[in-house]
Structure 1
Amino acid sequence: MTKPGPARRGGDPAGRPQPRKGRRTSGKMLAVLALCAAVGAGGIGIATAPGRAEAEIPSESAAPMRNVAGLAAPVVKLVELGVTPADGAKAVNPAAPPSVKAVNGAVKDVVLVPASGGGRVPGTTSPDGSTWTAGDPLEFDTKYKFAFTIVDGAGRETRTAQTFATVAKAHEADAAVYPLNGTTVGAGQPIEIVFSEPVLDKVAMEKSVAVSSSSGQAVAWRWYSDRRVRIRPETFWASNSEITVDLQLFGVDFGNRMIGNSDTRVSFKVGPQRLAVVDDITKTMNVYFDGQLVRTAPVTLGDADWLSPTGFAVIMEQERNSRFNAGSIGLKPGDKGYYPPLTVEYANRLTSSGVYVHQALESAWRAVGKSNVSHGCVGLLPADAAWFFNNMLTGDVVQTLNTGAPAVEPLEGFGDWNIPWAQYAKR
């Protein structure tokens, strides 16, 4: 039998202490409970403990992501993902490299392939593993599948797949260059570029095309339309120089959703500076090679109804035998000056409307060097016509003086040299 102890003030018969009246539950206990609730929720986000703790709460010191004391916060940061192109995108520029960037994470196992089958597009990953970028340009009019894995700071992986499509064939654009690659032309030949589609931003287009010459001559651009441009130096190309036109048009926006589909590099050579000067007063032609007179020949020019144009013209093409038709210059049977179709010898075209240097018809030989009987062409005697044809080249220059007619228009062949240099550049 246990001896009863002394009575406890305010106690119960079992001797258990009673809480003091008015005592509050510990603030530390509430903070701990709040912490447990936040961490227990899991996921990626930001958790904060409400209220103020009466004592500092130790962090998860054993975890590599948290090794300092402080209020509870997420261990793993949210991954911010940037993908180009967007899922389902259409009319993607093939020159714009697809990429995946993960902020607060890493990218791996990237696969970019044509949806219809084909080789994998290569790419590179940044040293920190956060960014992948395609290394090769894409194809036009192609649907692509783009898949990749994102790894967050806790090592958790998420696989994502999406698709996009590049610019359709209907929106491809390109350009043609004259002179052609690998050719040799005369020193007066301007460069001509004809674009398949209108160019809206001409300044940007000029930056995409580099023109260089072994002679170091500066050039100017003259836009005759949104699709046609000519390029030339201030004076004729230097003798025996080489010209290169480098068109970096792949991916260039022409405007109107038209995208350049290729890069093109064209190089051509220039022969000696050959210039034929025709004077209507003396009825002669003097031919100069690199400034030296090499031949003088008598000529007949256009009569009073068909004056030969003056100024500079460039030989556009040469034909040993060329079929002439009066209908091409608007003449019909019965019209003054009409002639039946005929073949001329040693034809060197100067204008698109039909001005040539050629062998005069036999009926006109008596007028050569004395009077003008042609429809605007420069007529030569047979020996001189053969020499001219065999020694001059497309791109060489013919200058006609003192006929009283206007100069050759720029687009009437290559009359660009009749525009003063200070006025040549034009957009």
Structure 2
Amino acid sequence: MTQSAGQGGSGRHAGKAVAIAVAGLLVVGGGVGLAVASPWDDSPSEAGPGPSAPAGASSTPAEPAPTTAPPARDVTVNAVPADGAAAVNPVTVAEVSARNGRISDVTLEPVTGGAPVNGTLSADGTKWTAGERLAFNTQYAFTYTVSDTSGGKTTREQTFSTVEPANEADAALYPLDGTTVGTGQPLEINFSEPVVNKDAVEKAIKVTSTSGQPGAFYWLTDTKVRYRPQEFWAPNSTITVDMKLFGVDFGNAMIGNFDRTFTVKTHDTRLAVVDDKTKTMNVYIGGKLQRTFPVTLGTKEWPSTVGYHVVMEKYESTKFTAESIGLKPGDDAYYPPTVVKHASRLSNGGAFVHEALPAAQVALGSINVSHGCVGMSPEGAKYFYDNFGPGDVVQILNTNYGPMYVHDGFGDWNLSWEDYVNGTRQ
């Protein structure tokens, strides 16, 4: 079990210089060791007559003129972190410095064992600075020797402990590192703890792309932030997300615990335009029209949302339940659990592109019979499933209903750029 900060410290301090309990300051009086003449004292002294004193001189030796060694000046020591400090941010640079004295024999190491922390002593010996980061959830022993100007020495040991696991904050990026996605995929970062200091966290995350597209953050909640450029990502580009969150203060005493770089790539543009007026889907790949399919959309009671929808995930087959969209047995629109094929999710609320049930396929290209989904023929649904995946875009037009909300899946593109840039600070 890791010893708590400062435990056992009083025993180690016994018989050593008295510490002033203020932010790691230690004042060592000039009397560290015995008071001796200063080696830097060059004041002259008067000698009495020697054995060959001239005749007539007094036989009594003259008293030598007294010499006075200047007192050693008080040595002030400052150590960071302070003795007994707890929940120290590991990004803190450990150091010890002396005024009117010199530092030597510095050791900074985990109390429970492990490699000591490397550091550098200044040329004049007055300051030692750690050259590497501290670790989380670790109690450290900090030992050093201080010498005053008269040569007196004292050794001091102090302890401190760093942030414990309960106060560490982590984060995860979607899409996953190394994946390739469609050009409509916003970046999403989910934090393990609420972020209060949003500006500090944003500054610690740098997003660049080979297309050179600038972007903006948009906070959906205190634990979820999105990032997108003004227009869709350029096709066949590489996006780099450099998170330097180690030591970043999230607020509420939560501290970021890692630095990591992620890369995500985009493939060619893939856009499916669904128009309720014509009940068709036009499929564009690389900007060129490839196929047109008849579709059925949501009814007046269950309309399909307009605007841009980004494919979230897809299933070769999956089960739809009425309960997932808020219906219960006895409701007019209720339906029993139903297995559907080639289903691609467009929203958290349950909108999919999928193969219409056999009874609904007669409505393709003619009328709307779905609960908000885009129903297709077996051929059309399989073509969409085979060619569209996460990050690819479906644009739905003319349903006389509002756009999909930003939080209902990836509805980020339905916000104006101005609204996205101004964002939220919930």
Shorter-chain TM-score category? 0.7 to 0.9
Distance apart, 1:152 and its partner CA: 2.3
Equivalences, count: 371
Contact 1:88 1:164 in 2 (8 A): yes
Distance apart, 1:72 and its partner CA: 6.8
**Structure 2 match to 1:65:** 40
What is the TM-score with the length of structure 1 in the denominator? 0.83
Cα deviations across residues 203-258 of structure 1 (Å, max 9, x unaligned)?
11111111111111001111122221111000000001111111111111111111
Structure 1 counterpart SS, 2:87: strand
Match status 1:128 vs 2:116: no
CA separation of 1:156 and 1:42: change in aligned 2, threshold 3 A: closer
Distance apart, 1:68 and its partner CA: 6.8
Aligned pairs for 1:10-49 within 5 A: 43=31
Q: Which structure has the larger Rg over C-alpha atoms?
A: 1
Structure 1 unaligned residues grouped into runs of 5+: 1-40, 45-59
CA distance in 2, matches of 1:139, 1:161: 19
**Structure 2 match to 1:111:** 107
Structure 2 counterpart SS, 1:389: helix
CA distance in 1, matches of 2:150, 2:31: 11
Match status 1:288 vs 2:284: yes
CA separation of 1:218 and 1:68: change in aligned 2, threshold 3 A: farther
**Structure 1 match to 2:219:** 223
C-alpha RMSD of the superposition: 2.1
Distance apart, 1:198 and its partner CA: 1.5
Contact 1:298 1:368 in 2 (8 A): yes
Contact 2:104 2:145 in 1 (8 A): yes
The counterpart of 1:85, out of the listed 81, 84, 96, is 81
Q: Which amino acid aligns with 2:40?
A: M
Structure 2 counterpart SS, 1:422: helix
Match status 1:146 vs 2:134: no
Structure 2 counterpart SS, 1:387: helix
Contact 1:65 1:75 in 2 (8 A): no
**Structure 1 match to 2:338:** 342
**Structure 2 match to 1:190:** 186
Q: Which amino acid aligns with 1:91?
A: A
Distance apart, 1:132 and its partner CA: 1.1
**Structure 2 match to 1:407:** 403
Match status 1:275 vs 2:263: no
CA distance in 2, matches of 1:422, 1:306: 30
CA distance in 2, matches of 1:273, 1:72: 88
Higher relative contact order (CA 8 A, sep 6+): 2
CA separation of 1:159 and 1:404: change in aligned 2, threshold 3 A: same
Contact 1:88 1:163 in 2 (8 A): yes
What is the TM-score with the length of structure 2 in the denominator? 0.83
Contact 2:107 2:142 in 1 (8 A): yes
Structure 2 unaligned residues grouped into runs of 5+: 1-28, 45-66
Cα deviations across residues 304-351 of structure 1 (Å, max 9, x unaligned)?
111111011110101110111111112222221221111111100000
Percent identity between the two aligned chains: 53
**Runs in 1 of length 4+ with deviation above 6 angstroms?**
none
